[in-house]
Structure 1
Amino acid sequence: MKFAPMNYHYVRYPIEKFLDKVEQSPFTSIDLYCSAPQLNMFDYPLQRLLRLDKEIRKRNLDIMVMTPENCTYPVNFCTQDTLTRESSIRYYQRAIDTAEFLGCPNVQISTGFGYFDQPREEAWNYCLESMQILASYCERKGVKLFLEELKTTTTNVLITSKDIARMLEEINSEAVVGMVDMDQMTYANETVDNWFDALGDKLQHIHFNDRGHTVPGDCDFPMKEYYEAIKKRGYEGTVSFEICDRRYYNNPDQAIDDIVTWMKNNTIERL
């Protein structure tokens, strides 16, 4: 497996602080969370993108996956509202273009949602239509999409491993594969084996985080059991640490250190 930290919990700092910390850590890859003020996917000058590319390369890092902010207003490619859906597709088109420019092979994409008082199948069909458009674009750009599930409090479209498996089958593109987030997985009362059974080799990325998107070991999930279950299935794909809880905002460097310590104490990985 190849591991990478994400800069989500560094959003109150310049991106260089995150890159400096990763350079000093055992990690050689990053999961680049794209959000203002670090990298605003809605609008950024080319000069800023060139500078970011230079800052990453001079530290001898690579980008494992790019994660544009994609589960909050105003991004929603499953909605019945045409204007929002079309603008969301353009947003992801820009994300795909940005990933290609930065030499990043993967873009993470989370499901949107339909109106909760309208038929789920409507939102499902809009999701499928949007994903097929983006899949065709990715095929031309040589970029892969990691499609993620969300919780029932966020979406009424893709929630379980079976939902993701069905959507991947209907999209029918090698440019779109599945991923699983430990927090969403547990909330849906599923297991690591459920995901591997449903997706097989289409499961190609994992968010390895404790409850509430915290550092492994900081909450009550059986993270060592999750790791061992993943390892037992022979998984050799990518893994990133999506640490979102605001408790880490004041000292984001310590979270990276704690991830490394947990990995050294609970896994056989050479980071």
Structure 2
Amino acid sequence: MVDLSFSQVAAMNEHFVLHTFSSFLDSAERSGIHKIELWAGLPHLYAPDTTPQKVNDIARQLRRRQMELICYTPEQCVYPFNIAAKDPELRKYSLEYFLRNLEIAGALEAPMFQIVPGWGLRTEPRQEALKRSLESVGVICRAAERLGIRVVLEALEEEESNLIRTAAELREAIDQVGAKNLGAIVDTCPMAAAGEDFEASYRVLGDKLWHTHFIDSVHQAWGDGVFPLERWLRQLDEHRYEGILTMEILNDRYLLDPSSALEKSARALRSLLS
């Protein structure tokens, strides 16, 4: 057992896309989880077509169950949004999408907002696309600062993005933007794809490592993949990690029975955490 606490575990609704938001909260409650990372996508909450009534309903459901919203994460990998887009209209559209999501995050009193860097065309120099990405990140951070929200930037796997794929590239981007409210989120899947672990991440990111998506390979439930999750937990523990471990389960194999995957992962984590 490690000194990390089960109270640091959060559930995420991304694999409940064929189910209601309330059924996700039911599953989290059965698992003894009271921290929520809100994935903002259809059918639960989608910024471009949501209403104040729907946002208020999400807030009421969280309050009624005494759930703490720890992070707001808009869908940004599957939907056509890219803050590094070469097409100025697409980039403008993408930034407007993130700024609208920030408004909703503020209304829900979310303390943290998660983003990815977008991607550049593979036929253009990486630095050109990275420059556009970091300019956009700066805009998002300034808007978030006015709302008192911290922003966490995530590295992606090579096939997802050619901009930020390693802890070193992530740290360089954070330093270049220079916003006090910008930190790093480390997702175990891109981390492993880069050949890294949490020890390597801490060596580079240090106190900028604010958040984690802690899940088995290919975003599967604990034990269904091949990651050395117990070893990684011990690495976080050695560095006295005080952030959240979000179970970002999103593999399609769980779409028909998302509760079982969430509850299985929670049981495994509970057995190892204080």
> What is the aligned partner in structure 2 of residue 173 from structure 1?
179
| Distance in 2 of aligned mates of 1:115 and 1:187 | 21
- Amino acid corresponding to residue 139 of structure 1 in structure 2: E
2: CA distance, partners of 1:127 / 1:203:
20
TM-score, structure 1 length as denominator? 0.96
Cα drift, residue 209 of structure 1: 0.6
Deviations 1:27-75 (A, max 9, x none): 1111111111111122211111111111111111011111110113411
Whole-angstrom CA distance in 2 between matches of 1:214 and 1:128 = 30
Separation of aligned partners in 1, 2:61 and 2:228: 36
Say whether the 8 Å CA contact 1:5–1:30 is kept in structure 2: yes
- The whole-number CA distance in structure 2 between the counterparts of 1:36 and 1:268 is 33
Q: Distance in 2 between matches of 1:75 and 1:98?
A: 17
- TM-score (structure 2 length as normaliser): 0.95
1:160 matched residue in structure 2: 166
Whether the 8 Å CA contact 2:215–2:248 is kept in 1: the answer is: yes
Partner of 2:200: 194
Distance 2:245 2:152 in 1: 12
Cα distance between partner residues in 1 of 2:219 and 2:264: 14
* Counterpart selection for 2:103 from 97, 111, 118: 97
Deviations 1:197-250 (A, max 9, x none): 111110000010111001121111111111111111111111201001011111
Q: How does 1:31-180 map to 2 (within 5 A)?
A: 31-180=37-186
Q: Which amino acid aligns with 2:98?
A: Y
Task: Among all aligned residue pairs of Structure 1 and Structure 2, give the percentage whose two residues are the same amino acid.
Answer: 30
Give the superposition deviation at 1:25.
2.4
Match of 2:221 in 1: 215
Q: How many residues align?
A: 268
Local SS of the residue matching 2:227 = coil
What is the alpha-carbon distance in structure 2 between the residues aligned to residue 190 and residue 41 of structure 1?
34
Instruction: Provide Cα deviations, 1:146-203, integer angstroms capped at 9, x if missing partner.
Output: 1001011011101000111000001111111101110111011112111111111100
CA-based RMSD of the aligned residues comes to 1.1
**Structure 2 unmatched runs, 5+:** none
Q: In 2, distance between residues paired with 1:239 and 1:223?
A: 12
Aligned to 2:252: 246
Residue identity matched to 1:256: L
Structure 1 distance, partners of 2:117, 2:223, is 27
Equivalent pair of 1:29/1:62 in contact (CA under 8 Å): yes
Measure, in 2, the Cα distance between the counterparts of 1:231 and 1:81: 43
CA distance in 1, matches of 2:95, 2:270: 40
Gaps (5+ residues) in structure 1? Answer: none
- Give CA-to-partner distance per residue, 1:240-271, whole Å, 9 cap, x none: 01001011111111112201221133x233xx
Whether contact under 8 Å (1:208, 1:216) holds in the other structure is no
For 1:67 and 1:216, locate their aligned partners in 2 and report how far apart those are by CA, in whole Å: 21
Q: Taking CA–CA contacts closer than 8 Å with sequence separation of 6 or more, which of the two structures ends up with the larger relative contact order?
A: 2
Q: Secondary structure at the match of 1:42?
A: helix
Q: What does the per-residue CA deviation read over 1:73-129, in whole Å, with 9 as the maximum and x for residues that have no partner?
A: 411001111111111111111111111101111111012001111000001100111
Deviation at 1:4, TM superposition (A): 0.3
